[in-house]
């Protein structure tokens, strides 16, 4: 087992304090949005004293690092593990399926868009299902709400500006109606979007009934940060989810979502493909987003696993990754390939010590490793 240094991403929505606090580092005033732990070629973690990039280490001997089954099936580490710390909302976004990612990557390659270009949407050929597990209170938008429930929410927002939205929702017939409404909102000319959003935000900002006050407060906050952005009204169509520490949410391909605030660990397929539709200063690709969004109404499933012998396991339903939380008060045995992240306490393993914020790479060749101590460790691994 070798210690692992992750890559910091300083996106503008990030917290200035949460990840530095976890890592025991001095705040520098910059937003530390994400800590990447993995082998994605755009930001691979550095392994051990030699600081070898993890993707290069795996490529040199995939069977030893990943084991024969995973090496044969995936060829490289199939997941990316992150700490995500949002002080402000992330973009309104969705991720592609495998087929959509392959087609989008080929299309942008053929158009000559550089991999690292700000206007590139597909940076690899992989899908990006993901699971977010809260370390603090965490708020998110996740998938479309049933239109009837959304109409009940809109009834508490006192503005006629929403009448066209109410009419479309009332006339909607399931997914087709929501698809059409989403396209209508995101394709509004800037002036029309501003004329819609401003009165909605104003109406959400005044005292109203207790019913759905949290949704109105969310829209008012988004409108203050992104004035005139049609994504503010789009957010009213989505499920608002509150995760408490230890709760998790799995998001599959096409799920329109946005993380609004909080710190969590996130695991996903080893991809950086994001289609954005608003609430961001980054590249927006509405036409492609509309191609990948799944507008079927859903009831988000919040996972609250009960620990069995100190291990809580989260369901991901995809082969690329799984996540376990180990609550140690003594010992536990783990095996690789896996990335370990200590978020509390002190844990000894294979002559290494993992304190709060420390991460390690555990290869398949390391075999079973005993963790000893008292603390909390997340294990990111493959779901085979």
Mean pLDDT calculated for residue range 115-139: 94
* pLDDT value of residue 221: 97
The Cα 117–Cα 105 span in angstroms is: 13
- And the tokens for 252? 């599959």
Q: Is the dihedral of CA 162, 164, 169, 175 positive or negative?
A: negative
Answer whether residue 175 shows pLDDT above 80: no
pLDDT of residue 174: 58
Torsion angle of the four alpha carbons 25, 30, 34, 39, in this order, in degrees rounded to the nearest 10: -80
Coil vs helix vs strand at 159: coil
Q: Quick: pLDDT tens for 364-380.
A: 999 999 999 999 999 99
Percentage of residues in the chain with pLDDT exceeding 90? 91
pLDDT (0 to 100) of residue 216: 98
The candidate with the shortest Cα–Cα distance to 43, out of 105, 116, 113, is: 116
Catalytic residues: 276
Q: Are 40 and 270 in contact (CB under 8 A)?
A: yes
pLDDT, tens only, 63-102:
999 999 999 999 999 999 999 999 999 999 999 999 999 9
Q: Which helix (H) or strand (E) holds 257?
A: strand 257-269
Q: Which two three-digit tokens encode residue 42?
A: 């755009």
Q: What is the pLDDT of residues 289-330, one digit of tens each?
A: 999 999 999 999 999 999 898 999 999 989 999 999 999 999
**pTM: predicted TM-score of the whole model, two decimal places:** 0.94
Work out the burial of residue 322: count CB atoms within 10 Å of its CB; fewer than 13 is exposed, 13-18 middle, 19 or more buried: buried
- Contact between residue 196 and residue 235 where contact means Cβ atoms under 8 Å apart: no
pLDDT of residue 173: 62
Q: Which residues contact 209 (CB under 8 A, 6 or more apart)?
A: 156
Domains and CATH numbers, the chain: 146-236 (no CATH), 312-381 (2.60.120.10)
- What is the spatial distance between Cα 114 and Cα 112, in angstroms, rounded to a whole number? 6
How far is the CA of 31 from the CAs of 8, 139, 187, 220, in angstroms? 10, 19, 31, 23
Distance CA 110, CA 205 (A): 47
Sequence-separated (6 or more) residues with CB below 8 Å from residue 61: none
Rg for the chain, CA atoms, rounded: 22
Asked if pLDDT for residue 172 goes beyond 80, the answer is no
What is the DSSP annotation of 245-294?
TT-EEEE-TT--EEEEEEEEEEEEES----EEEESSSS---HHHHHHH--
The pair of three-digit structure tokens given for residue 207, joined into one six-digit string: 């005292």
């Amino acid at each position: 087992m070798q210690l692992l240094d992750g890559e910091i991403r300083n996106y503008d929505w990030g917290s200035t304090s949460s990840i530095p606090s976890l890592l025991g580092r001095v705040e520098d005033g910059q937003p530390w949005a994400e800590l990447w732990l993995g082998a994605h070629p755009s930001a691979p973690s550095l392994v051990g004293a030699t600081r070898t990039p993890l993707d290069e280490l795996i490529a040199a001997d995939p069977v030893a690092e990943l084991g024969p089954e995973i090496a044969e099936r995936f060829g490289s580490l199939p997941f990316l593990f992150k700490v995500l710390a949002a002080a402000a909302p992330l973009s309104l976004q969705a991720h592609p399926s495998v087929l959509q990612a392959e087609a989008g990557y080929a299309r942008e390659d053929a158009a000559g868009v550089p991999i690292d270009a700000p206007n590139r949407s597909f940076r690899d050929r992989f899908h990006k299902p993901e699971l977010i597990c809260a370390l603090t209170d965490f708020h998110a938008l996740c998938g479309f709400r049933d239109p009837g429930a959304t109409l009940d929410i809109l009834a508490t927002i006192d503005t006629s500006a929403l009448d066209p939205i109410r009419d479309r929702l009332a006339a909607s017939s399931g997914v087709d109606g929501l698809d059409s409404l989403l396209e209508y909102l995101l394709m509004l000319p800037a002036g029309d979007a501003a004329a819609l959003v401003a009165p909605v935000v104003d109406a959400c900002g005044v005292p109203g009934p207790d019913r759905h006050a949290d949704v109105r407060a969310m829209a008012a906050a988004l409108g203050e940060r992104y004035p005139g952005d049609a994504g503010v009204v789009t957010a009213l169509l989505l499920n608002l989810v509150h995760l408490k520490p230890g709760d998790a949410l799995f998001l599959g391909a096409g799920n329109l979502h946005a993380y609004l605030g909080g710190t969590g660990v996130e695991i996903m397929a080893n991809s950086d493909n994001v289609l954005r539709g608003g609430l961001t200063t980054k590249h927006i690709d509405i036409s492609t987003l509309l191609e990948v969004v799944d507008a079927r109404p859903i009831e988000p499933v919040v996972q609250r696993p009960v620990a069995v012998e100190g291990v809580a396991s989260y369901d991901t339903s995809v082969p690329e990754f799984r996540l376990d939380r180990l609550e140690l008060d003594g010992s536990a045995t783990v095996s690789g390939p896996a990335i370990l992240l200590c978020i509390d306490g002190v844990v000894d393993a294979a002559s290494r010590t993992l304190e709060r914020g420390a991460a390690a790479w555990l290869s398949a060749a390391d075999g079973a490793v005993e963790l000893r101590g008292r603390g909390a460790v997340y294990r990111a691994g493959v779901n085979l």
